[in-house]
Amino acid sequence: MGRRKNNQTSTSLNNTQHQATKVCFDDDEEEENINLDDSIVATEKAIAMDDVTMSDPNAPFVDGGDDDKTSADYYFDSYSHFGIHEEMLKDGVRTKTYQNVIFQNKFLFKDKVVLDVGAGTGILSLFCAKAGAAHVYAVECSHIANMAKEIVESNGFSNVITVLKGKIEDIELPVAKVDIIISEWMGYFLLFENMLDSVLYARDKWLVNDGIVLPDKASLYLTAIEDAEYKEDKIEFWNNVYGFDMTCIKKQAMGEPLVDTVDQNQIVTNCQLLKTMDISKMVSGDTSFTVPFKLVAERDDYIHALVAYFDVSFTKCHKLMGFSTGPRSRATHWKQTVLYLEDVLTICQGEALIGSMTVAPNKKNPRDIDITINYSLNGRRCVASRTQHYKMR
């Protein structure tokens, strides 16, 4: 899975949502005068290392590191580094939405027991505690859990928040049931890293019968884009590298989805809903699926890639809330997922690119995703049909 270089900001900051999703994201609607920047700064200060530790290149970021870690532990080890959490905390769309969901719906949290799955620095747990939760259990597997404990203590919530280090599947809670499960489990392409299974496990084991999962809805979308310039630079480059044939690498590059921000002006077709997941009811196997798609051209153009993105919704709030990671919405750290096509498709307005997408966790590493796309175009100027396989890793 790749990323474009030197593209840290969105090329599209248009707040207009596609018509398929209507959610509330209003930075001005808050019950309290809460400054997100202050919350993030306080968290980052607690994460920062002292000068002595920072000057020691052999010192671990957090105490308690194991010397016998293997590559199987890389996923959780990667979340021990503060940089990942800094990126997520500074994603205002993500963090501000969760903050608004909690602070504008305190009636959901008042005197309730909350489970935060994959708590990271504990920011969501802190929001819940401040909203009046009776107790919050913050479960985090990576070594950042040690920092989360310090953050909780530094902010005076040790009597309300208990940080538990370990995999949600391995730990035991001090209580039999919880009223609310909250988690920011979404990965690139919604399902990359497969953290959703951990949320479903926690739901089935600890959530009361009438309990709430936040967020409770997630939807995956697909569209098609013109992207000649970057495909030439990223993919076709391997055809002739200083006079040498390196097309074997081109095949690999084609099979690795690219995480990047797509300019909304590149969009050639409609945006189609592929699948909606109800987190409160779905089962683990629902993350494997095959769905059809029909993308209709809105203008005469070329199609070089398909683009996937997702929306999440909090439907249990007083007012529907959520956010989109689509090209027509404010940029997030999830960006969009670009899947390049081997063919360059010449499509005319009104013509349809039809096909199907199959998504499943990789059998060897379920945190990776295998994607298969079948597509065909029977147009006036282009006829094409192909099956392509991708792997997010």
Q: Is 60 buried (19+), middle (13-18) or exposed (0-12) by CB count in 10 A?
A: middle
CA 20/CA 328 separation, integer angstroms = 12
Question: Do 300 and 235 meet the contact criterion of CB atoms below 8 Å apart?
Answer: no
Q: Is 193 a catalytic residue?
A: yes
Neighbours of 356 (CB within 10 A): 14
Whole-number Cα distances in Å, 369 to 75, 91, 278, 358: 14, 24, 20, 10
Question: Do 356 and 291 meet the contact criterion of CB atoms below 8 Å apart?
Answer: yes
CA 223/CA 272 separation, integer angstroms = 6
Question: Do 21 and 311 meet the contact criterion of CB atoms below 8 Å apart?
Answer: yes
Q: Is 333 buried (19+), middle (13-18) or exposed (0-12) by CB count in 10 A?
A: middle
Residue 356, helix vs strand vs coil? strand
Whole-number Cα distances in Å, 217 to 76, 280, 320: 25, 8, 11
Q: Which residues does 224 contact at the CB level (< 8 Å), separation at least 6? A: 267, 268, 269, 295, 303, 305, 306, 307, 353
| Positive or negative: CA dihedral 57, 59, 62, 64 | positive
| Nearest Cα to Cα of residue 276 among 217, 190, 209 | 217
253: enclosing H helix or E strand:
helix 247-254
The residue annotated as part of the active site, out of 184, 229, 236, 298, is 184
Question: Do 101 and 31 meet the contact criterion of CB atoms below 8 Å apart?
Answer: no
The residue annotated as part of the active site, out of 140, 193, 226, 351, is 193
Neighbours of 29 (CB within 10 A): 12
The residues annotated as belonging to the active site are 184, 193
